[in-house]
Chains A and B, each alone.
Chain A
Amino acid sequence: MSVLVYPRTGHVEETLSSGGGETIVAVNWTADASGDCVDWLSPIGGTLRRMTYRATVAGTGGTHSVYLYDEYGIDMLDGRGAGLTDSATDTVFVYRAVEADLDVPIVLCGPLQLRVSGADASDAGYMAFFVRP
């Protein structure tokens, strides 16, 4: 396993690790005074399988939303990061439903912009994206 750490100014600290056929993009985020967090993650390529997230640490409850936009503004979570419960720890499987009962995986390719919205001011959280290269 190799671990790469990308310290960032602002709101996001990102860790890439790989092993067992998967790359894990782990993100610690901190919201600003308006409850938002926007930052670019390191470019990555591969199939996004799932996202796990932990309960936020300083919020007052409620929900927050997570989006992972590519360079063209397409949400690679396909909306499945919307309305996450602040107090929950859970796993979200990520796929695109192209038709009823027909799903396709989503391929990440290039820089990604993480946007957290609707959190409480200075709230913080953690999430990990599991990518199969």
Chain B
Amino acid sequence: MGITNICGFEHGDTLELEASGGTAGISTAYAHAGTYSWRVYPTTTATGYARLQGISSTTGARATINQATCYMRIYFLYVTKPAANEEQIMTCRSSSAVKGEIRLTSSGTLKLFDSTAAQIGSTGTTALEPYRWYRIEWYMTTSATPSTSTVYVDGAEEITGSGTFTNNNVGDYDFGKPTNLNGQTVDFYYDDYAISDSANPGEGFIVAVPVNGAGSSSQWTGSYTDIDDTPPNDGDATYIYDGTASGGKVSLFTISNPGNYGVRGTIKAVRVGSVIREELAHTSAMATRLRSAGTNSTSGNRNITASYGFQHVLAATDPAGGNWTYDRLKAIEVGVVNNGTTANNVLCTYMQVLVEFAPIPAPGVIVSRAAWGRAERIEARWASDDGGAAWSEWFDATGMLDRIIAVPDSTYAPSANYDVTLERPDGVDALLGLGANRSAANVECAWIYRETTAGDVERNVLGGRYRVKIANAGANKCGVVAFVLAT
């Protein structure tokens, strides 16, 4: 099945959380993607947390994850780590008890503990730095006997070991410092949660895309302008509603261009959420719908309450078939279905479309420079266009060119034998052709020289304007090229 729920805290309040408490809240200070993240900042012995769950397969409501095997991802950033000892940064729970926990030490390293608070495996070796987002992924199992749990940092295995993680399925996760261990003041941020039942979710950014027009069905009263709130929702200020007794009334809406909200690259999941309530308490049957290329994916019916709450439908792949494509995502419709059979109003105040994507960098070359003594390094981070090419702006460079180092990206590896040139305005390559045919897999160093007729070595001295050009790299590929000069 793959990804079973995502959350980017993009509703801007606690409505999509199972629970929260202590010194914690929604923040806009740091966000991995989108607008919001979750901040936990208790001092000394205080606590704070947010609890996230899954989606009910029968009602679309927030619900216990209930997976025997769960792969969870969260992006984590700290401003203040424990000054001494360690504190929790996240716990994995069954529906009622802790299965395991991860702690952050005063060194910035991670530790894994099981349900008996016994440390599992070795302390991590990665010292997390402040003000930097780290992708923490956590594999959790369920077994009556000791079983394996593994923690990953930025995709690399950090801690693994066997422990007592209980035989109860994974129910939810607490992010923050839900209990005090050592009286340490901390300041943590969390963003872009995802869970999967089959593999680590991997890299992902989560943003919210609003509705922007009428779709193929408009059977409720009201228009998209009533449900396109800037999060959090505006409650009863504006909403759409339906109170017909015949059931099956549908209103669908188009969505804004996802690219305007940062979506690009591989689309990994789409979660449609409606914030709904009954006007007066009655037996209702509400559903939320995602429609792609004429194919509906609809949540089960939910008997909602008179208080606003979320109902979700999540699609890790296109309901119309295959993986999501950008064009298919752009054309989806989202909406609500009133399957109730009594003449009582149900209200929807907000519709949210969350998109999880792994971005491809925008084509171009970013040049940065650093000098130490009489040596300079010019580093060009490049991403190729659809034609497999990229080039920088013109820049000045002076000095003897010693070497270039070409580093292919591991995720968006360029085609084999791609070419690097350092072009002068007259079109001459200052690399003397020695940047050609770079490796797609390995870091390569090419020494820049020319053999003279006398059998001596001549180095190429730069002086003037140059630009970095990449060719034959394949579409939407990435890498780094560094130029080292003696100045």
Contact = CB atoms under 8 A, between A and B. Distances in A.
A46 interface: yes
B407 A72 contact: yes
Contact of B459 (A43, A74, A104): A104
A104 B405 contact: no
A46 B451 contact: no
Nearest to B486: A107
Given A98-B449, A104-B459, A110 B377 contact: yes
Interface string A97-116: 01101111111111000000
Interface residues of A, dominant DSSP: strand
Contacts, number: 66
Given A72-B443, A102-B451, A109 B457 contact: no
B270 to A, nearest CB: 38
A43 B372 CA distance: 7
A46 B373 contact: yes
A133 B445 contact: no
A47 B459 CA distance: 14
A83 interface: no
Most chain A CB within a 10 A radius of its CB, from B459, B485, B486? B486
Contacts of A102: 449, 451, 455-457
Contacts of B46: none
Contacts of A7: none
A110 to B, nearest CB: 6
Interface in B25-76: none
Given A45-B373, A72-B482, A106 B402 contact: yes
A70 B456 CA distance: 27
Interface string A80-124: 000000000000000010110111111111100000000000000
Contact of A45 (B376, B407, B445, B455): B376
Interface residues of B, dominant DSSP: strand
A109 B403 CA distance: 11
B370 interface: yes
A122 B148 CA distance: 34
A42 B328 CA distance: 52
A73 interface: yes
Contact of A96 (B373, B374, B405, B447): B447
Interface string B445-463: 1010101000111010000
Contact of B372 (A44, A74, A103): A44
Nearest to A108: B375
A107 B447 contact: no
Interface in B393-413: 400, 402-403, 405, 407
A110 B374 CA distance: 11
A103 B403 CA distance: 13
A23 interface: yes
Contact of B484 (A23, A43, A103, A107): A107
A100 to B, nearest CB: 10
Nearest to B373: A45
Contacts of B84: none
B371 interface: yes
A45 B447 contact: no
A44 B373 contact: yes
A127 to B, nearest CB: 20
Interface in B450-487: 451, 455-457, 459, 482, 484-486
B403 to A, nearest CB: 7
Most chain B CB within a 10 A radius of its CB, from A43, A98, A109? A109
B375 A74 contact: no
Most chain A CB within a 10 A radius of its CB, from B370, B376, B377, B443? B377
Interface in A23-69: 23, 43-47
Nearest to A97: B447
Contacts of B485: 107, 109
Contacts of B447: 96, 98, 104
A91 B382 CA distance: 40
Contacts of B459: 104
Contacts of A99: 451
Given A47-B486, A72-B407, A96-B447, A104 B375 contact: no
B461 to A, nearest CB: 13
Across the A-B interface, the 8 shortest Cβ-Cβ residue pairs: A45-B375, A45-B372, A45-B373, A109-B375, A107-B402, A72-B405, A74-B445, A133-B373
Given A101-B455, A107-B403, A109-B372, 15 more contacts: A44-B373, A45-B372, A45-B374, A45-B375, A46-B374, A74-B445, A96-B447, A98-B449, A98-B457, A99-B451, A102-B456, A104-B449, A108-B375, A109-B375, A110-B370
18 contacts: A23-B373, A43-B372, A45-B373, A45-B376, A72-B445, A72-B482, A73-B443, A74-B443, A74-B445, A98-B447, A102-B456, A102-B457, A104-B449, A104-B457, A108-B375, A109-B377, A133-B373, A133-B374
